Amino acid sequence: MLGVWTTTQIRTAEDRLLARTPDGALMRKAAFGLATAVLDLLRERTGGTAGRRVTLLVGAGNNGGDALWAGVFLRRRSVAVTAVLLNPDRAHAAGLAALRRAGGRVSETLDDPDLVVDGIVGLQAHGPLRPAAAALVEQVEVPIVAVDLPSGVDPDTGAVDGPAVRAAVTVTFGARKPVHVLNTTHCGEVRLVDIGLGPELPDPDLIVLEPDDVGYAWRVPGPRDDKYTQGVTGIAAGSANYPGAAVLSSGAAVLATSGMVRYAGYAADVVRGRWPELVATGNVEDAGRVQAWVVGPGLGTGQAGRSILAAVLHEAVPTCVDADGITLLAANPALWDARDPDAPVVLTPHDREFARIAEPLGIKLGADRVAAARELAKRLDSVVLLKGNATVVAAPDGRTLVNPATSSWLATAGSGDVLTGLVGALLATGLDPWLAAGCAAWAHVRAGELAATADASATADEETGVPTPASRILEAIPGAIRAARSAVAAY
């Protein structure tokens, strides 16, 4: 599990650490880590370091100070270093003097670099890049290494509201900040440099699941298990118009655990035809016992869907409500009020579904997606999985995890139906609903990667992948589970 801390938490911890550290020592530690990353990238891009050219974009604060001190270390490795000072009067004085002594030069132009270092603004950033910085950044045609975070991106929400740096690598210090997991597109590869902050940090504000966390959580059958003891998943999805959603959700559940899946609804014949191992009936009441229900994908928002949703909620088992199920709940608060409050619910909205259910409660989905998901989770006493490039999973007690995507190939029709089936299957195994939703989101992203690259060792990004229909994401689920389980084995 990786921890992520807010900028306020980090600043407080840094203040405590600074108080017991010699002046300037932390910055030099940070800058050394930064210079190492720059050298690595130079080597990777140009085959060497000596004589290569690096331009530092230097803002008014300590973020610029880090860049200047990194420039000093780079000079010692014979790199030609140019500093462009965005605010010459406020540039970090000691760093600037040291860079000049080391043979670095100051310029007003980029000077044709092999690589640019963004030291414009760090933890104190607010708002987009200002015009002078934006104009410089726009001229950059080489990879950018961001100091602490890409300037112009909000450190706590990852939101971008105007010109911002898009980095190839972000080198951060002491601890991950929310931007690093909420906006991987602008951060690029994130490298964490240890500056000894660990002992000063409180519990993290957010967590990110790692493969072995998911592997540990995924229930595997033991010698005494049978098809019922591992948890049976019920799927109430699809309609005459949308049988595909039922096939995808059911399929994801079938592939996610080795127990049993039941289907109830209008698409029984289609679903049975595609997944012969599943037991299908026409309605929820006849479906038999399950340990968790999935309700909503392709259900329709009319009277028929409403009755199915009411029947599922009446069963009072852990339930994942998605898609039309969420729209129905938003339009029919009485359905929500009638549910058994002891049966956990996981809601899996995309932005528009989130707005439908949250706005009547006075919760707006703004730049701070974590805050919005947390607020809805608390108000509805449910787990909220807010979909997007970075998926946010909030529990009613405030626990929140973020599952960043490595590409946007998952943004395809039916992809959400696959995710829902995964959530339902993990709920049925008895996993904590928040963790179930998090593990499902992880497996979904991993399956998307495998489907987009067809290469188990690769990480799909926009450059290497190909479009991947939801059926392919579904087929890649076993590979995703294998990746999580082998991470446990390797531990």
Ligand X SMILES: Nc1ncnc2c1ncn2[C@@H]1O[C@H](COP(=O)(O)OP(=O)(O)O)[C@@H](O)[C@H]1O
As a whole number of angstroms, the distance between CA 304 and CA 310 comes to: 10
Find the part of the chain contacting ligand NPW (CB under 6 A) among 35-43, 121-129, 293-301, 338-346: 121-129
- Using alpha carbons, select from 301, 295, 309 the residue that is nearest to residue 338: 309
CB of 400 to ligand NPW, least distance (A): 23
Cβ neighbours around 115 below 10 Å, total: 23
Q: Which residue has the tokens 């399956």?
A: 447
Cβ neighbours around 32 below 10 Å, total: 16
Confirm whether residue 152 is marked as ligand binding.
no
User: In the beta sheet, which residues pair with residue 234?
Assistant: 262, 293
Find the part of the chain contacting ligand X (CB under 6 A) among 19-27, 272-280, 409-417, 457-465: 409-417
CB of 171 to ligand X, least distance (A): 24
Given K ion, ligand NPW, ligand X, none, residue 118, with its beta carbon under 5 to 8 Å by kind, binds: K ion
Does 151 engage in binding with K ion (CB under 5 A)?
yes
Residue 31 CA: distances (Å) to CA of 35, 79, 146, 440: 6, 15, 12, 38
Does 464 engage in binding with ligand NPW (CB under 6 A)?
no
CB of 375 to K ion, least distance (A): 30
What is the x/- site pattern for ligand NPW, positions 32-71, by CB under 6 A?
A: ---------------------------xxxxx--x-----
Does 243 engage in binding with ligand X (CB under 6 A)?
no
Nearer to ligand X, 280 or 390 (CB): 390
Residue 103 tokens, joined: 């043979």
Residue 171 tokens, joined: 């080198």
Does 389 engage in binding with ligand X (CB under 6 A)?
yes
Confirm whether residue 66 is marked as ligand binding.
yes
The interface with K ion within residues 111-150 (CB under 5 A) comprises 118, 146-147
Residue 149 tokens, joined: 């975070």
Among 26, 181, 255, 256, binds ligand NPW (CB under 6 A): 26
Read off φ and ψ for residue 235, nearest 5 degrees: -120, 120
Does 415 engage in binding with ligand X (CB under 6 A)?
yes
Confirm whether residue 364 is marked as ligand binding.
no
As a whole number of angstroms, the distance between CA 410 and CA 404 comes to: 12
Read off φ and ψ for residue 446, nearest 5 degrees: -65, -40
Does 416 engage in binding with ligand X (CB under 6 A)?
yes
Does 130 engage in binding with ligand NPW (CB under 6 A)?
yes
Confirm whether residue 298 is marked as ligand binding.
yes
Given K ion, ligand X, ligand NPW, none, residue 413, with its beta carbon under 5 to 8 Å by kind, binds: ligand X
Find the part of the chain contacting ligand NPW (CB under 6 A) among 25-33, 36-44, 181-189, 289-297: 25-33
Read off φ and ψ for residue 348, nearest 5 degrees: -125, 65
Does 116 engage in binding with ligand NPW (CB under 6 A)?
no
Among 84, 147, 370, 419, binds ligand NPW (CB under 6 A): 147
Three-state DSSP class for residue 322:
strand
Does 156 engage in binding with ligand NPW (CB under 6 A)?
no
Residue 349 CA: distances (Å) to CA of 48, 373, 383, 387, 397: 48, 10, 11, 6, 19
Number of residues engaging ligand NPW in binding (CB under 6 A): 27
Given ligand NPW, ligand X, K ion, none, residue 133, with its beta carbon under 5 to 8 Å by kind, binds: ligand NPW
Quickly list DSSP for 272-294: HHH-TTSEEESSGGGS---SEEE
Quickly list DSSP for 9-39: HHHHHHHHHHHTS-TTHHHHHHHHHHHHHHH
By CB under 5 A, name the binding residues for K ion: 118, 146-147, 151
> Where is the binding site for AMP, in residues?
387-391, 416
Instruction: Give the residues lining the site for ligand NPW (CB under 6 A).
Output: 14, 18, 26-27, 30, 59-63, 66, 120-127, 129-130, 133, 147-148, 152, 173, 195
